[in-house]
Structure 1
Amino acid sequence: MSLILAKWTLDDYHRMVASGVLDDRQVELLHGEIVEMPPEGEPHAYFNTDVRDYLIRRLGNRVTVREAKPITLPESASEPEPDLAIVQPLGREYLIHHPYPENIFWLIEFSNSSLIKDTEVKRRIYAQAGIPEYWVVNLKKMELMVYREPFAGDYLSQITLTDGEIRPVGFPDVVISVRRLLD
Structure 2
Amino acid sequence: MALTLYKWTLDRYHAAIDAGLFDDQPVELLRGDIVVMLPEREPHACYSSDAADYLRRLLGERAAVRETKPVTLPNASEPVPDIAVVQPPLRRYLDHHPYPADIFWLIEYSQSTLMKDLGEKKQVYAEAGIQEYWVSDLKNSQLKVFRDLVNGAYQTELTLIQGTISRLSFPDVVIDAQRLFS
Matched, 1:104 2:103: yes
> Aligned equivalents of 1:103 and 1:153: distance in 2?
17
Alpha-carbon RMSD: 0.8
Partner of 1:40: 40
Partner of 1:124: 123
Task: State the shift of 1:179 in Å.
Answer: 1.9
Give the gaps of 5 or more residues in structure 2. Answer: none
Partner of 2:141: 142
Task: State the shift of 1:150 in Å.
Answer: 1.6
Partner of 1:161: 160
| AA aligned opposite 2:16 | M
Q: Deviations over 1:34-92 (max 9, x none)?
A: 00011100000000110001000100111110000000002x10000000000001332
| AA aligned opposite 2:19 | S
Which residues of 2 match residues 80-91 of structure 1 at below 5 A? 80-91=79-90
| AA aligned opposite 2:155 | L
Partner of 2:177: 178
Give the gaps of 5 or more residues in structure 1. Answer: none
Contact 1:128–1:151 (CA<8 Å) still a contact in 2? no
> Aligned equivalents of 2:25 and 2:157: distance in 1?
33
The TM-score, its normalising length taken from structure 1, stands at: 0.97
> Aligned equivalents of 2:122 and 2:181: distance in 1?
20
> Aligned equivalents of 2:92 and 2:177: distance in 1?
32
Task: State the shift of 1:2 in Å.
Answer: 2.4
> Aligned equivalents of 1:55 and 1:65: distance in 2?
7
Partner of 2:14: 14
Partner of 2:66: 66
> Aligned equivalents of 1:135 and 1:123: distance in 2?
9
Partner of 1:26: 26
SS at match of 2:11: helix
Corresponding residue pairs, total: 182
The TM-score, its normalising length taken from structure 2, stands at: 0.98
% identical aligned pairs: 55
| AA aligned opposite 1:30 | L
Contact 1:148–1:155 (CA<8 Å) still a contact in 2? yes
> Aligned equivalents of 1:179 and 1:8: distance in 2?
38
